[in-house]
């Protein structure tokens, strides 16, 4: 740590700003940092974390040590900004907004920072940091400017009790778990708390960025766990959402109609899930063709087989498939799960090889420009959190169910981006339909209407 402190003193310009500090923190070589003697000891039963301030000029550097399950209070960064570098363990950051007039504290979202990840904390941030582990401690290094001589004036919120506290110069941490003499003021019943689960668009799921972006293998393992976790009730959960049911049925009808015009003998459904949609489309078409399937979840594959789909467990990009074998291929509600653009191109090229000349491929993608969906929020987080520096592509996001344990990944596309990608692989674009999802679910949208996701019908040239 002494070498880092010397580097800070040597390299920091006189008028450094938020962006410069971010670049500096991300340039730190973690393996070279020796934390011996710098990590403070915490009191195991205190319910609080420990702080060790290493530097105050030209900016503050402080090492925090978090016991398992311990969190800061929700606190307001007012008049200072900085970055957090996760050194050991995992850090959960939960962000909030506060409406002074309505006296409402709203949960805005959460994210996870893993070892080596960097969390920006711009001026005005209202958040809490937690160690979500039940058995592992968390070590984080915080870089703040201007340096905080004391925590005097910092405002804390207790969402569960509705308390609002203002710290004084005697406060030791941004936590309610400290000596009451650390508070200048403590108001009870000071506000109403609105959790994210009560916010439109987040009632069942929440966005949950992971910093840095996990590897493709980790993402696929997460998706497998996410769907296996709900395999036994997936169709039921699907049916409970009227909007999602209307959206999927609308797509099913379009595909069934196209199949009637181009009858297949053999269709492959990639990411077939329980096989419900593939068999529904066949029923809607009135045709009698063979359906093969592949899915990452063993539980889902078992259900697909019970519906008559010749399904196997596997990841599409790793499957062995004969060239020019299928008349048609579908990939529904799952193209966005492919971890990155290189893997998406690999998937498309594999589909091209597996199709017979003139064969068609049907797949839908989430539209990043849909104002009724998570796309705009994904773009906001991409910019706010400097996620490009953490391995993200614009449009990437992670999410999970409020009561779920596993995280899934989704990539939102733009029309010109996805059509350009499929054409670069050698496909001919037959049609791009815009289908309502949150607004006018399942309905075809006209060119002058906003929103909707994209259903692509593409063809392997004869």
Q: pLDDT (tens digit, 9 = 90+) per residue, 154-182? A: 999 999 999 999 999 999 999 998 889 99
List residues bridging with 158 in a β-sheet.
163
pLDDT by residue (tens digit) across 36-93? 999 999 988 888 999 999 999 999 999 999 999 999 999 999 999 999 999 999 999 9
Q: Rounded to an integer, what distance in angstroms lies between the CA atom of residue 18 and that of residue 276? A: 51
Q: Say which CATH class 216-459 falls into.
A: alpha beta
Q: Rounded to an integer, what distance in angstroms lies between the CA atom of residue 257 and that of residue 83? A: 54
How many CA atoms, within 13 angstroms, populate the side-chain half-sphere of residue 146? 7
Whether omega for the bond prior to residue 58 falls within 30 degrees of 0, making it cis, is: yes
Q: Rounded to an integer, what distance in angstroms lies between the CA atom of residue 267 and that of residue 255? A: 12
Nearest of 125, 117, 111, 48 to residue 84 by alpha carbon: 117
**pLDDT given for residue 45 in this prediction:** 80
Q: Rounded to an integer, what distance in angstroms lies between the CA atom of residue 180 and that of residue 286? A: 73
| pLDDT band, very low/low/confident/very high, at 271 (cuts 50, 70, 90) | very high
Q: Which numeric CATH code is attached to 2-199?
A: 2.60.120.10
Other C-beta atoms closer than 10 Å to the C-beta of 322 total: 8
**pLDDT given for residue 372 in this prediction:** 86
| pLDDT band, very low/low/confident/very high, at 237 (cuts 50, 70, 90) | low
**Domain map (residue ranges) of the chain:** 2-199, 216-459
State the DSSP code for 444.
B
Q: Rounded to an integer, what distance in angstroms lies between the CA atom of residue 428 and that of residue 424? A: 10
Measure the CA angle with vertex 263, ends 259 and 269; round to 5°: 60
Could you tell me if 53 and 61 are in contact, meaning their C-beta atoms sit under 8 angstroms apart? yes
Distances in Å between the Cα of 261 and the Cα atoms of 89, 254, 286, 351 are 56, 11, 12, 21
Residue 132 CB contacts under 8 Å (≥ 6 apart), including other chains: 69, 90, 92, 112
User: Quick one: average pLDDT of 200-216?
Assistant: 89
Residue 240 CB contacts under 8 Å (≥ 6 apart), including other chains: none
List residues bridging with 130 in a β-sheet.
71, 92
**pLDDT given for residue 227 in this prediction:** 83
**pLDDT given for residue 76 in this prediction:** 97
Nearest of 121, 126, 95 to residue 18 by alpha carbon: 121
User: Quick one: average pLDDT of 420-437?
Assistant: 97
Q: Rounded to an integer, what distance in angstroms lies between the CA atom of residue 296 and that of residue 214? A: 18
Please spell the DSSP secondary structure of 204-261, one letter per residue: SEEE--EESPPPHHHHHHHHHHHHHHTGGGHHHHHHH-HHHHHHHHHHHHHHHHHHHH
17-21, 148-152, 352-356, 458-462: segment of lowest average pLDDT: 148-152
| pLDDT band, very low/low/confident/very high, at 149 (cuts 50, 70, 90) | confident
Q: Rounded to an integer, what distance in angstroms lies between the CA atom of residue 104 and that of residue 191? A: 5
User: Quick one: average pLDDT of 384-408?
Assistant: 92
| pLDDT band, very low/low/confident/very high, at 234 (cuts 50, 70, 90) | low
Could you tell me if 272 and 281 are in contact, meaning their C-beta atoms sit under 8 angstroms apart? no
User: Quick one: average pLDDT of 322-334?
Assistant: 95
Backbone phi, psi, residue 359, to 5°: -70, 155
pTM for the complete prediction? 0.89
**pLDDT given for residue 235 in this prediction:** 65
Instruction: Assess whether pLDDT exceeds 70 at residue 238.
Output: no
């Amino acid at each position: 740590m002494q070498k880092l402190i010397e580097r800070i003193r040597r390299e920091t310009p006189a008028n450094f700003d938020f962006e410069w500090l971010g670049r500096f923190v991300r340039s730190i070589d973690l393996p070279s940092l020796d934390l011996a003697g710098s990590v403070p000891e915490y009191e195991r039963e205190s319910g609080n974390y420990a702080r060790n301030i290493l530097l105050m000029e030209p900016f503050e550097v402080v090492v925090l040590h978090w016991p398992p399950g311990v969190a800061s209070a929700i606190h307001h960064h007012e008049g200072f900004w900085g970055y957090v570098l996760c050194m050991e363990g995992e850090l959960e950051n939960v962000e909030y907004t506060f409406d002074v007039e309505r006296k409402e504290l709203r949960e805005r979202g959460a994210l996870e920072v893993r070892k080596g990840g960097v969390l920006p904390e711009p001026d005005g941030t209202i958040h809490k940091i937690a160690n979500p582990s039940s058995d592992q401690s968390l070590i984080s290094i915080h870089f703040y400017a201007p340096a905080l001589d004391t925590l005097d004036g910092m405002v804390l919120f207790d969402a569960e009790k509705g308390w609002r506290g203002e710290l004084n110069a005697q406060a030791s941490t941004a936590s309610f778990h400290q000596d009451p003499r650390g508070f200048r003021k403590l108001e009870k019943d000071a506000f109403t708390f609105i959790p994210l689960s009560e916010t439109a668009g987040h009632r069942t799921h929440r966005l949950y960025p992971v910093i840095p972006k996990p590897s493709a293998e980790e993402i696929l393992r997460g998706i497998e766990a996410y769907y296996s976790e709900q395999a036994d009730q997936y169709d039921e959960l699907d049916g409970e959402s009227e909007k999602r049911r209307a959206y999927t049925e609308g797509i099913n009808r379009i595909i069934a109609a196209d199949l009637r015009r181009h009858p297949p003998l053999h269709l492959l459904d990639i990411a077939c899930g329980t096989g419900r949609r593939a068999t529904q489309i066949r029923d809607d078409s009135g045709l009698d063709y063979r359906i093969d399937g592949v899915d990452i979840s063993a539980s889902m594959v078992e259900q697909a087989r019970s519906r008559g789909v010749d399904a196997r467990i596997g990841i599409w990009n790793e499957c062995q498939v004969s060239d020019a074998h299928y008349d048609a291929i579908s990939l529904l509600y799952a193209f966005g799960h492919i971890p990155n653009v290189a893997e998406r191109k690999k998937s498309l090229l594999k589909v091209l090889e597996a199709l017979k000349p003139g064969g068609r491929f049907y797949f839908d993608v989430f539209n990043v420009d849909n104002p009724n969906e998570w796309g705009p929020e994904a773009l906001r987080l991409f910019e706010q959190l400097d996620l490009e520096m953490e391995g993200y592509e614009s449009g990437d996001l992670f999410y999970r169910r409020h009561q779920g344990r596993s995280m899934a990944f989704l990539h939102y596309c733009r029309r010109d981006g996805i059509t350009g990608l499929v054409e670069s692989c050698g496909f001919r674009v037959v049609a791009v339909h815009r289908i309502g999802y949150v607004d006018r679910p399942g309905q075809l949208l006209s060119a002058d209407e906003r929103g909707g996701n994209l259903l692509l019908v593409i063809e392997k040239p004869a």
